[in-house]
Amino acid sequence: MIFETLNDGSLPLKILKVLKVRWLSLAPALRRVKDQWVELQLNFQIEASQEKSYVAEMLYNTYKDPKNELYVLFVLPILEEANKVIFSPPNRYFFSCTVGRQTVDMHYIFFSLKINVGNTY
């Protein structure tokens, strides 16, 4: 009900699971949480006050702390940029390493992060 009210009747998106290769699945899951931050905060606030739920209260306190939101806003572009590089075709002219079945171009990751994330702060 809260989500529909705040988002013109659209249904809430499911929170994505973090998989075994956690750092690869973290960016999409964190993006989903960031996109619904206000709705999640309000939902847990109502749940904590009406149901007297300890878990809901702890989650509400997590979402209302601006440091946590700032952390998400800082880390998310870094994770998304790293995922872009990891899932792009490898470049044979740079140092590469293999993570599972994926070849990762380490120089390109650092260079891309410096340009795309480093220059925004």
The reported pLDDT for the residue numbered 111 is 62
Distance CA 7, CA 22 (A): 30
Arithmetic mean of pLDDT over the chain:
75
pLDDT of res. 94: 45
Residue 115 lies in a domain: no
Q: Per-10-residue mean pLDDT for the chain, 121 residues long?
A: 70 69 75 92 94 92 94 88 69 49 56 59 48
> Cβ contacts of residue 14 below 8 Å, gap of 6+?
32
Enclosing H/E stretch for 29: helix 22-35
> Is 12 inside any structural domain?
yes
Answer yes or no: is 20 within a domain: yes
What is the structure's pLDDT at 103? 52
Q: Is residue 96 part of a domain?
A: no
Contact yes or no for 105/94 (Cβ under 8 A): yes
Closest CA to 32 of 18, 21, 44, 46: 18
Q: Is residue 116 part of a domain?
A: no
Tokens 């702060």 correspond to: 121
Determine the pLDDT at residue 8.
Answer: 73
Query: 9 by DSSP, 3-state: which?
Result: coil
How many domains does the structure of the chain reveal? Answer: 1
Using CA of residue 87, residue 77, residue 73, residue 7, what is the dihedral sign?
negative
Residue 58 included in any domain: yes
Query: Is 112 inside any structural domain?
Result: no
Output the pLDDT for position 50: 93
Residue 78: inside a domain, yes or no?
yes
User: Which structural domain range is residue 48 located in?
Assistant: 2-88
What pLDDT, on a 0 to 100 scale, did the predictor assign at position 41? 95
pLDDT the model gives residue 19 = 61
